[in-house]
């Protein structure tokens, strides 16, 4: 669908088209469409912009990813449809592996996701291995790649589900999520939560990592120490409250 340049909701509609395109290509699941809708609603509430608190989370995420020994980027059908090139750029910058991990079991869709990323320029995309699993998780997301998430110390998992965030943490990994809903279990359970749209958060994360690359370890550690998870989530809720009570 052609969306006129002057349309006031152009960005949101273009993003929606990308997700719908993901479904048509067999990358995104129908459930992923519903999850996107929930995201859109929360984006409206936070004002469809990167808030100051999300910027602080992005800074902590950049520092944490730069200090990681084995960072891994977990990709699913939504993230691959929305920001494939950006995820590949992030993986190059950090020398981090890209690994497919989806909730609704489908080997076919895993391969579609992998091929879409390869087509967009990824050199390597790991798939979950049916003989390798992380503990404390029952869903399909327990299967991981032995060279990827299994070994990772920091996992970047944009658009996560709460169970898996919790399981990854119990498996002693640091988990960075991007979730527009500050009330979700993933947002609450993660080590660092970026309450922002993935389409805005990943480009900004890339920019911040490029700046932080010249910082030494002490400086990066300081940035991480300055991150206060509870406070960040509270600030996101405050932002929503502020927008809800605005006089129009």
How far does Cα 15 stand from its chain's mean position?
15
Place of tokens 């910058």: 93
By beta-carbon proximity to ligand ATP, the closer residue of 37 and 146 is 37
Q: Look at residues 173, 164, 187, 191 and name the one whose alpha carbon lies nearest to residue 234.
A: 187
Q: Look at residues 113, 114, 137 and name the one whose alpha carbon lies nearest to residue 124.
A: 114
Among positions 25, 133, 185, 229, the unique one binding ligand ATP when judged by CB under 6 A: 185
Dihedral Cα 209, 213, 215, 216, nearest 10 deg: 120
**Smallest gap, in angstroms, from Cβ of residue 146 to ligand ATP?**
25
Q: Which stretch binds ligand ATP (CB under 6 A): 51-59, 173-181, 219-227, 236-244?
A: 173-181
Q: Which stretch binds ligand ATP (CB under 6 A): 21-29, 59-67, 144-152, 155-163?
A: 155-163
Among positions 178, 209, 220, 224, the unique one binding ligand ATP when judged by CB under 6 A: 178
Place of tokens 């990854």: 168
**Smallest gap, in angstroms, from Cβ of residue 215 to ligand ATP?**
27
By beta-carbon proximity to ligand ATP, the closer residue of 59 and 166 is 166
CB 125 within 8 A of CB 175: no
CB 180 within 8 A of CB 46: yes
Q: What is the largest CA-CA distance in the chain?
A: 56
Residues 3-32, mask of contacts with ligand ATP (x by CB under 6 A): ------------------------------
- Tell me which residues touch ligand ATP (CB under 6 A): 35-36, 38-39, 42, 82, 159, 161-162, 178-181, 184-186, 197-198
């Amino acid at each position: 669908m052609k969306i006129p340049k002057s349309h006031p909701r152009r960005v949101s509609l273009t993003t929606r088209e990308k997700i719908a395109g993901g479904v048509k290509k067999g990358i995104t699941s129908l459930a992923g469409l519903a999850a996107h809708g929930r995201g859109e609603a929360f984006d409206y509430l936070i004002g469809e912009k990167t808030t100051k608190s999300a910027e602080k989370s992005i800074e902590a995420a950049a520092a944490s990813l730069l200090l990681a020994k084995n960072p891994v980027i977990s990709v699913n059908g939504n993230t691959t449809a929305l920001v494939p090139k950006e995820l590949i750029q992030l993986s190059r910058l950090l020398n981090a592996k890209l690994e497919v991990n989806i909730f609704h079991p489908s080997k076919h869709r895993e391969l579609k996701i992998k091929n879409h990323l390869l087509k967009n320029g990824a050199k390597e995309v790991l798939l979950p291995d049916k003989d390798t699993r992380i503990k404390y998780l029952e869903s399909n997301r327990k299967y991981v790649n032995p060279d990827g998430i299994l070994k990772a110390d920091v996992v970047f998992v944009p658009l996560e589900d709460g169970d898996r965030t919790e399981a990854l943490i119990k498996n002693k990994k640091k988990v960075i999520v991007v979730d527009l809903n500050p009330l979700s279990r993933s947002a609450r359970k993660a080590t660092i939560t970026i309450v922002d749209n993935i389409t805005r958060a990943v480009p900004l994360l890339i920019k911040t990592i490029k700046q932080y690359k010249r910082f030494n370890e002490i400086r990066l550690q300081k940035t991480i120490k300055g991150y206060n998870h509870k406070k960040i989530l509270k600030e996101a809720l405050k932002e929503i409250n502020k927008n809800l009570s605005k006089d129009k």
